[in-house]
Amino acid sequence: MTLARRRVLQLGGGAFATLLRPALLQAAALQEVEMRGTARGEHVWFHPHGLAVAVGTRVRFINRDPGNSHTATAYHPENFDRARRIPKAAAAWDSDFLLPDESFEVLLSEPGVYDYYCLPHEMAAMVGRIVVGTPSDPRWQGPSPDTNDISQAVLEAFPPVDVILKHRQVTREDAM
Ligand SMILES: [Cu+2]
């Protein structure tokens, strides 16, 4: 083997290791969002319903409500033709109905604001917002300006981005 070829192989290995290491770290980051409800189902909510995470975090939605099925559904044209409220480069995601103790995971790798809802309980303002990364990221996409495809009550249920970034987690209990 020539010296030049050996050097190329070493460089190649180094570049590979550099790329691989952040990917492994990102895969380890996991945040949980619970679906909760009162015993008789008068109130249902995501906990926390405002969440800030780093780019590349996995978020696991888990149904901790023994009395109800819930979904975590991104606002996106591919999901029931809703107006998009997640970054443009992000893929649509929908957990479908989760029975009690069932869960669903999504990897959030595009920086920006993700709004989602529970299919049967959107009108009860069972919605949430995840802020991925920070506005200083050049790829950042802020909250959707759309107000036509969503009710005023639901819009008001999304915590403001600056509040989420400040507290990292915002719960319904905080707002009450
Ligand atoms: Cu629900």
d(CA 126, ligand 1 centre) in Å? 6
Check whether 134 has a pLDDT greater than 90.
yes
Question: Which helix (H) or strand (E) segment is 36 a member of?
Answer: strand 30-37
Give φ, ψ of 21 to 5 degrees: -60, -50
* Those residues with Cβ within 8 angstroms of residue 51's Cβ, 6 or more apart along the chain or in another chain: 31, 33, 59, 128, 129, 130, 131, 164, 168, 169, 170
Looking at the chain, the whole-number percentage of residues with pLDDT higher than 70 is: 82
d(CA 69, ligand 1 centre) in Å? 6
- For 161, the token pair is 């981005």
d(CA 80, ligand 1 centre) in Å? 16
Check whether 2 has a pLDDT greater than 60.
no
d(CA 6, ligand 1 centre) in Å? 58
Q: Which residue has the tokens 């009395």?
A: 67
- In terms of C-beta density within 10 A (0-12 exposed, 13-18 middle, 19 or more buried), how is residue 121 classed? buried
Give me the pLDDT at residue 168, please. 97
d(CA 147, ligand 1 centre) in Å? 22
d(CA 78, ligand 1 centre) in Å? 19
* Those residues with Cβ within 8 angstroms of residue 121's Cβ, 6 or more apart along the chain or in another chain: 44, 68, 70
More confident residue, 12 or 162: 162
Q: Which residue has the tokens 């029975």?
A: 99
Give me the pLDDT at residue 91, please. 97
Lowest mean pLDDT among 16-25, 51-60, 89-98, 102-111: 16-25
- For 3, the token pair is 């010296």
d(CA 122, ligand 1 centre) in Å? 7
| Contact (CB, 8 A) for 90 and 77 | no
Mind listing the pLDDT tens digit for each residue in 154-171? Answer: 999 999 999 999 999 999
d(CA 168, ligand 1 centre) in Å? 23
pTM, 2 dp = 0.84
Check whether 69 has a pLDDT greater than 50.
yes
Q: What is the mean pLDDT of residues 83-107?
A: 98
d(CA 132, ligand 1 centre) in Å? 23
Check whether 9 has a pLDDT greater than 70.
no
- CA Rg, the chain, in Å? 19
Query: Distance between CA atoms of 104 and 89, rounded to whole angstroms?
Result: 21
d(CA 27, ligand 1 centre) in Å? 28
Looking at the chain, the whole-number percentage of residues with pLDDT higher than 90 is: 79
Query: Distance between CA atoms of 64 and 99, rounded to whole angstroms?
Result: 9
Give me the pLDDT at residue 160, please. 97
Give me the pLDDT at residue 147, please. 96
* Structural domains of the chain, with CATH: 29-175 (2.60.40.420)
